[in-house]
């Protein structure tokens, strides 16, 4: 039995990931943005070990979430599932003055990676749109470029792959991988999406818990249990280090080496 933390697990792929882990007999800690959502997921998944609470759009709450997660651990695996979509709205700024998509999808994921005690396995949820992403360190917050929500989302999903590959390189004792779940019928994916939510969660569950040799890889980008080629930027070691340095500057927390 493994103990697994799943971020963003109150609905959609995250909740299905937690449900599958519970069904397989694992010890699961869920994550909710606020107390109301925490109560909802406790009711939906009564077998949870715990639910930790924190809004990833706030650096302070993300730090407190990391502390709560540390108290609920140690974990064999952490599934970084939480994220927000691009949509078509205007650029939004968090309480910390950060662009919201980058704050939640990139900055908070980095901060939790750095602060939660190191597990044996890390799984980062990305998207096939990472192939269209770019790493624009000179304008990560979209302060100079004309706003494009879907491009900001694609960029953030590439950031997650870069982070997964960087962690795999720097932490050789950890299996760190990125997963494209597919286009899933969830609130974020919408009713026209082609794939079922169970399929969208299965690869993460397998990577987090399986003893199969194929699941014990690191520094890989996967979809439906298969290794695929990621955006070439993700394998650029100089770019990996530059993104880590940039995120350390934004958060005041450096990834332990």
Q: Considering the domain 3-251, what is its CATH architecture? A: 3-Layer(aba) Sandwich (3.40)
pTM of the model: 0.96
Q: Domain-by-domain residue ranges, the chain?
A: 3-251
> Residues 190-245: pLDDT tens digits?
676 667 788 999 999 999 999 999 999 999 999 999 999 999 999 999 999 999 99
| pLDDT at res. 252 | 98
User: Whole-angstrom Cα distance, residue 59 to residue 65?
Assistant: 10
| pLDDT at res. 195 | 77
| pLDDT at res. 190 | 61
| pLDDT at res. 193 | 61
| pLDDT at res. 187 | 66
User: Whole-angstrom Cα distance, residue 72 to residue 51?
Assistant: 9
| pLDDT at res. 88 | 65
Q: Average model confidence (pLDDT) for the chain?
A: 95
| pLDDT at res. 107 | 98
Q: Are 200 and 184 in contact (CB under 8 A)?
A: yes
| pLDDT at res. 216 | 97
| pLDDT at res. 184 | 67
Which residues are annotated as catalytic? Answer: 153, 157
Three-state SS letters, the chain: CCEEEECCCCCHHHHHHHHHHHHCCCEEEEEECCHHHHHHHHHHCCCCCEEEECCCCCHHHHHHHHHHHHHHCCCCEEEECCCCCCCCCCCCECCCCCEHHHHHHHHHHHHHHHHCCCCCEEEEECCHHHHHCCCCHHHCCCCCCCCCHHHHHHHHHHHHHHHHHHHHHHCCCCEEEEECCCCECCCCCCCCCCECHHHHHHHHHHHHHCCCHHHCCCCEEEECCEEECCCHHHHCHHHHHHHHHHHHHHHCCCCCC
Per-residue pLDDT of the chain (257 residues; tens, 9 = 90+): 899 999 999 999 999 999 999 999 999 999 999 999 999 999 999 999 999 999 999 999 999 999 999 999 999 999 999 999 987 689 999 999 999 999 999 999 999 999 999 999 999 999 999 999 999 999 999 999 999 999 999 999 999 999 999 999 999 999 999 999 976 666 665 676 667 788 999 999 999 999 999 999 999 999 999 999 999 999 999 999 999 999 999 999 999 98
| pLDDT at res. 95 | 98
């Amino acid at each position: 039995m493994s103990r697994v933390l799943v971020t963003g697990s109150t609905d959609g792929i995250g909740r299905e990931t937690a449900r599958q882990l519970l069904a397989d007999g694992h010890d699961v800690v869920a994550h909710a943005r606020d107390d109301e959502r925490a109560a909802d997921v406790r009711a939906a998944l009564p077998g949870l070990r715990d639910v930790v609470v924190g809004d990833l759009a706030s650096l302070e709450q993300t730090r407190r979430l990391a502390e709560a997660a540390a108290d609920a651990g140690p974990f064999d695996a952490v599934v970084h599932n939480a994220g927000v979509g691009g949509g078509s709205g205007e650029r939004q700024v968090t309480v910390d003055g950060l662009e919201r998509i980058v704050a939640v999808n990139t900055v908070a994921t980095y901060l939790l990676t750095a602060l939660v005690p190191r597990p044996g396995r890390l799984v980062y949820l990305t998207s096939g749109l990472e192939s269209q992403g770019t790493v624009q360190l000179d304008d990560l917050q979209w302060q100079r470029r004309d706003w494009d929500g879907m491009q900001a989302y694609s960029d953030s999903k590439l950031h997650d792959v870069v982070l997964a590959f960087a962690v795999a390189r720097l932490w050789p004792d950890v299996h760190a991988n990125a997963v494209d779940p597919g286009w899933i019928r969830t609130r974020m994916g919408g009713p026209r999406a082609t794939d079922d939510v169970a399929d969208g969660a299965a690869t993460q569950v397998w990577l987090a818990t399986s003893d199969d040799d194929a699941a014990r890889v690191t520094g890989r980008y996967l979809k439906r249990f298969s290794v695929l080629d990621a955006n070439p930027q993700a394998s650029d070691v100089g770019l990996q280090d530059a993104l880590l340095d940039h995120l350390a500057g934004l958060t005041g927390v450096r990834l332990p080496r």
